[in-house]
Amino acid sequence: MKTTLSLVLLSIGFLFSCQQQPPAVSSNSSVSVNSSDSTDSPVTRKGMIKVTILYPYSEGKHFDMHYYEHTHMPLVATLMGDSLKAVKIDKGIASGRPGEPLPFAAIGYLYFERLSAYENALAPYADTIRKDIAKYTDIIPVIQVSEVLQ
């Protein structure tokens, strides 16, 4: 029986704490790994697994977009190899309501054919990836694993 993975929230506990206001976000939003938007492309399609990494915006926190885009995500892509089908990055620029704090500094997306492909690709490198996070942010990311529907 096919299980819908939408709205399954997983959180990774790192040695950081979150607050409530916007951090400084540096660099631009283009990505050298794939493309800079989070819309589906010919590489992504219905039934794939989408791992969304959300970085909540918080006062006093930092997020180095240049490092994330040009070093961290390429590292993740290299470690996960052929199991990883696409990588996309969004840079938060505004809230949906004018004058309100930005909800996320950045959002990363990793696409896989199956949940097992993600789990198998991550398992040997989870510690390496987690340790690299401290090089670009002190924000605790929130991870959601979903099934692409459209």
Amino acid, single-letter form, for residue 2? K
Question: pTM for the complete prediction?
Answer: 0.74
May I ask the CATH architecture of the domain 8-147?
2-Layer Sandwich (3.30)
Q: Are the C-beta atoms of residues 78 and 121 closer than 8 Å to each other?
A: no
Confidence of residue 35 (pLDDT cuts 50, 70, 90): very low
In this prediction, residue 42 carries a pLDDT of 61
Distance separating alpha carbons of residues 89 and 69, to the nearest angstrom: 7
93-104 pLDDT tens trace: 999 999 999 999
* Of 21, 20, 29, 48, the residue nearest 108 (C-alpha): 29
Q: Is the pLDDT of residue 8 over 80?
A: no
- Segments making up each domain of the chain, as ranges: 8-147
DSSP-derived secondary structure for 75-113: HHHHHHGGGEEEEEEEE----SSTTSPPSEEEEEEEEES
Cα distances (angstroms) measured from residue 55 to each of 62, 68, 114, 120: 10, 11, 24, 24
